[in-house]
Chains A and B, each alone.
Chain A
Amino acid sequence: MNTYRDEAVPLLSARGLVKAYGRTPALRGASLDLHAGEILAVTGPSGSSKSTLLHCLAGIVRPDEGTVSYGDETLSGLPEARLGELRRTDFGVVFQFGQLIPELTVRDNVALPLLLGGLGRAQAGARADEWLERFGVRGQRELRPGELSGGQAQRVALARALVTGPRVVFADEPTGALDSLSGEQVMTALVGAARETGAAVLLVTHDAQTAAYAGREVRMADGTVEPAEVTAWGLLRSWRWLGRW
């Protein structure tokens, strides 16, 4: 048993999240803990509402019921201004399709969160360059997103997510649109940067090879998070014929 994890206070914690879109239920009481510095994969079939859970945890979507705690703050109780600040400073988000701003250069896309946070243009640009260099896309910094390959665009999106030094990176199917080698480069970059900066990563994926980069996995089904990994004892108990012995 990993008592350290059981006892540690989670960095981000969801309890009993319920969310419906119109009359269509998405989350039906999902609970989850993310600890500081850990890389957690959320897996499950399509339609199991993995992305909705990520959106609630990142403060992008407000749940209908339940709470999301980040440190000593409860996200659902925060005014939009504070939520926006958290998303800008403490959270970084990467989506399946980079969602870079097509009119801006690669460098300006990465510098944008810093500029919005009030940093000067020269400093923001210099820090953007550092992250672009680190992910091997500095040579593309004057290009527009439309001129990048899928793998390059995703590494730029990673740079944008990490440039503010977030404590949590949310990655929603970050390799979903990539071939396996590009996906591997993106995951290696993400995991390496997270380990170095101490950021926690919540990784939503339906792909087992991507999930294997995480230190822990939870599965979703029908809008809830399934109990932790099945133990050998749990399996033995489930074998009904054992009762005959």
Chain B
Amino acid sequence: MSTRHILLGLLASGPSHGYDLKRRHDERFPQARPLAYGQVYTTLQRLVRDRLAEVDGTDADGGPERTLYRVTPEGEAEMTRWAAEIAPPAPFVTNEIFAKVVVAILTGGDPAAYLLAQRAAHMARMRELTAVKTAPGADLATVLSADYALTHLDADLRWMTTTADRLNQLTAEVDAS
């Protein structure tokens, strides 16, 4: 995930300061890890260094003085380029579950029991996410983030089911090599 591009996107609606950007990021992407203030300020400084954003004065608003940032034309062009760029479909994603199944076979463990327990953990997380998205008053950003996680966990589950059905074959191959 590119924090710099997301901050540029949030700056597109007008000049803003770091605290406000962090708050809007966490609101807009409720299931993402909240941004740390330090990360926001470091990223803003890099955007200024790379001339994608610039300082737009300061804003006190009754409290401590805050630096306002605005996006530059170069920043807008970069944001547009990034938003249209296709994300790699990642056909060979790092798969910790598969690695554990293979290690279980190599060490004489019980990969079927591991897959069953992993499946239960996935289901428990899916129940939590379903509760989050069906809670009264859940906003659309929350629902969509939960949907994204749910469909990916569901894909993992399907893969685990197929793998459990193929364990005999996999064990024979791992043991033979």
Residues in A lying within 8 Å of B, measured CB to CB = 45, 188, 191, 208-209, 211-215, 217, 229-230, 232, 234-235, 238-241
Contacts and interface: CB of A to CB of B under 8 A. Distances in A.
29 contacts: A45-B161, A191-B134, A208-B122, A208-B123, A208-B153, A208-B154, A208-B158, A209-B130, A209-B151, A209-B154, A211-B123, A211-B126, A212-B130, A215-B127, A217-B123, A230-B113, A230-B117, A230-B120, A232-B117, A234-B113, A235-B113, A235-B116, A238-B109, A238-B110, A239-B104, A239-B109, A239-B113, A241-B107, A241-B108
B130 A235 contact: no
Interface of B: 104, 107-110, 113-114, 116-117, 120, 122-123, 126-127, 129-130, 134, 150-151, 153-154, 157-158, 161
Contacts of B116: 230, 235
Contacts of B129: 212
A239 B110 contact: yes
Nearest to A231: B117
A87 B161 CA distance: 35
Contacts of A230: 113, 116-117, 120
Nearest to A215: B127
Given A214-B127, A239-B104, 12 more contacts: A45-B161, A208-B123, A211-B123, A211-B126, A212-B129, A212-B130, A213-B127, A217-B123, A229-B120, A232-B117, A239-B113, A241-B109
Contacts of B158: 208
A129 B130 CA distance: 29
Of the listed residues A209, A211, A217, the one surrounded by the most CB atoms of chain B closer than 10 A to its CB is A209
A69 B116 CA distance: 30
B163 to A, nearest CB: 14
Contact of A238 (B113, B130, B154): B113
Contacts of A209: 126, 130, 150-151, 154
Helix, strand, loop or mixed for chain B's interface? Answer: helix
A214 B117 CA distance: 18
Contacts of A214: 127
Of the listed residues B122, B123, B134, B150, the one surrounded by the most CB atoms of chain A closer than 10 A to its CB is B123
Contact of B123 (A212, A238, A240, A241): A212
B154 A240 contact: no
Given A188-B134, A232-B117, A240 B127 contact: no
Contacts of B153: 208
B129 to A, nearest CB: 7
Contacts of B107: 241
A240 B157 contact: no
Contacts of B151: 209
7 smallest beta-carbon distances between A and B, as pairs: A212-B126, A238-B113, A212-B130, A238-B110, A229-B120, A230-B117, A235-B117
Contacts of B117: 230, 232, 234-235
